[in-house]
Structure 1
Amino acid sequence: MSEHLGHNLKLLCSHYRSIAEVCRKLGLNRAQFNKYLGGQSRPTPYNLKRICDFFGVEEYELGLPADQFARLIGARTDGPAQSVQDPLLELLQPLREHATSLARYCGYYFEYANCMSVPGQILLSLVHLREERGNFLFERQERQERAAGGSAEDWVRCRYLGAAFYLQDRLFLIDYESLTGNEMSQTILIPSFKSRISRLNGLKTGVSSGDRRTPACTRVVWDYLGSEINRVAAYRQVMLYSPDDPRIDADIRERLAGAHIRDGLFEIE
């Protein structure tokens, strides 16, 4: 484990603002934790369990090769998600003059949608909406397993980067798939006017990942998780689910089924 431990711990820590924050939450000495990161020391069994429990990983997973571990937990290995020089943001910059602040909606969400590429299945994605220098940006991570019970190598991963705008009482989100650069999608959500945000309903348009790349539209639900989460533990839940899976509650199923066609338009009830 010692060969890969330090690098994998650094990947886990990249989900937090600083190493100091991780040490504070873990209750570990910063100098000692730095030795773990540098591969100079291995945690005691007690500290190793605390670290694994905190990040939501197994002990053996910390010993995986770095690239395999990164795919397993959805860690970023290519720097910040976006910068203010993103061409998409520059193109949409004029909308900022007409948009209302999305600050109250910032945080993490589970996105539930009827899967465009695997009909009859529900795709759960992890979304992080944040504010950066006056822009509202988001990252959405998806993954699908090629075969049941497969290893980290058997998962197809997608990472979407996008910009969000609040215009005329609707949330508009447009993104692109950043790992391949071969698709875009748009989501429109109905905002929550309650003091506490729980779930947002809306529609998403995009294309199926099948060979024909068929344009599609699906009902979507965003389930608010909070401003800070255990990102690794949340990412482990990102996958395809059957509609009758007990992990998909009845309210989510009802919201995903609550759309119909009327006069040629796809409407939300």
Structure 2
Amino acid sequence: MDQFGGNAAALAANLRTLCEGHGSIAAVCRKINVNRQQFNKYLSGAHVPSASNLRMIANYFGLSVPILFSDPDEFRTLVDGNFFHAMSTARQLPEFSRFVSNMIVENNSLDSDILGVYDRYQFSSIYKGFVLRSAFCIYRNKEFLQHYYVERFPSFDDPKKTEYVFKYYGFCFPVADRIFTADFEGIQRNELTFGVYAQVKRNSKNFMFGIASGIAANMFRSPYSTKVALHYRGPGLLKREHLNNLTVMDRNDPSIPREALQYLGDGSDMIQMG
């Protein structure tokens, strides 16, 4: 288990988190055909499973083996946000299988360049003229590159309170030096969004600039197309510290990177319908 640094404590915490939503420990052991006494050692951090048992456990929960060894706080954020369940459900759809049949991600150098956490900037379709900062993450799950991002909108009446939260789950497809994304919103369950991005590296600051389009099933959120700037913050999955920075800001806010603001412009070219 050297490839994971022997991090039995992280694995144990993440297994306990997973088991919380899957009934009794005994039921989990029966379904993955692992001895209960041995599984208890995994849960306590006393032992790390063999490679074959790790694969069985990961397959049962619909995850990749490396994700089982993620930082426990990051991992719980994913579980609490229902990200794993949403992706597992999407993979089972025959329409999805046909869509990605020719787009399976191969091991290549592009992964190391794009995996990780980003601040995501775009002009808000709800707060006209203001810039929305959301949290965006790209990670590998088996043969797929997946992503998720979270938006938070403050209340009009009390900016200190959160009025709306939207969570998007999706897949990334690297094609011809571009990153194509397709995702769906998991709380309102009524919106599909699509994007295409290109990497730009300036002064050791990593950015991806692109276009995103969204189509909702009701008129509460009108269809839109807008510029999006992604600013790389670091490797790994989303942490609570990233989520704490989500908000809507005046375009003159100094915390918005200059490169992102230059790309976004003044928002006048944002296309909305309805």
Question: Given the two structures, how large is their TM-score scaled by the length of structure 2?
Answer: 0.60
Where 2:213 maps in the other structure, the secondary structure is strand
Aligned length: 201
Q: What's the secondary structure of 1:191's corresponding residue?
A: strand
Shift of the 131–121 alpha-carbon distance from structure 1 to 2, 3 Å rule, reads same
2:180 paired residue number: 172
Deviation track 1:92-124 (CA, whole Å, cap 9, x = no partner) reads: 222325878551211111111111222201111
Distance in 2 (alpha carbons) for counterparts of 1:124 and 1:86 = 32
Aligned to 1:94: 101
- The answer to whether the 8 A contact 2:136-2:150 is kept is yes
Match of 1:82, SS?
helix
Question: Is the 1:74–1:235 contact (alpha carbons within 8 Å) kept by the matching residues of 2?
Answer: no
Structure 2, unaligned stretches of length 5 or more? Answer: 1-9, 15-43, 45-72
State the partner residue of 1:237.
245
- Structure 1 window deviating more from structure 2 (79-88 vs 215-224): it is 79-88
> Judging changes above 3 Å, is the alpha-carbon distance between structure 1 residues 74 and 123 closer, same or farther for their aligned structure 2 residues?
farther
State whether structure 2 residue 139 is matched by structure 1 residue 148: no
Which residue, 143, 166, 169 being the options, matches 1:158? 166
1:99–1:166 contact (8 Å) kept in structure 2: no
Distance 1:166 1:258, change over 3 A: farther
1:226-265 correspondence to structure 2 within 5 Å? 226-228=234-236, 231-257=239-265
Match of 1:224 in 2: 232
* Equivalence for 2:53: none
Residue identity opposite 2:103 in structure 1: R
- Structure 2 partner of 1:76: 80
Letter in 1 for 2:97: E
> CA offset at residue 149 of structure 1?
4.2
Query: So what's the TM-score if we normalise by structure 1?
Result: 0.61
Identity of aligned residues (%): 17
Whole-angstrom distance in 2 between the partners of 1:219 and 1:225: 19
| Counterpart Cα distance in 2 of 1:74 and 1:143 | 16
Superposed CA deviations along residues 205-241 of structure 1, whole A, max 9, x for unmatched, are: 1147994532211111111111137711110111111
Unaligned runs of 5+ in 1: 1-15, 21-33, 35-54, 56-69
C-alpha change, 1:148 and 1:259, in structure 2 (3 Å) is closer
Q: Could you list the per-position Cα deviations for residues 140-187 of structure 1 after superposition, in whole angstroms to 9, with x for gaps in the alignment?
A: 111111233444xx4311110001101122110010001121011111
Aligned partner (choices 139, 142, 148) of residue 133 of structure 1 = 142
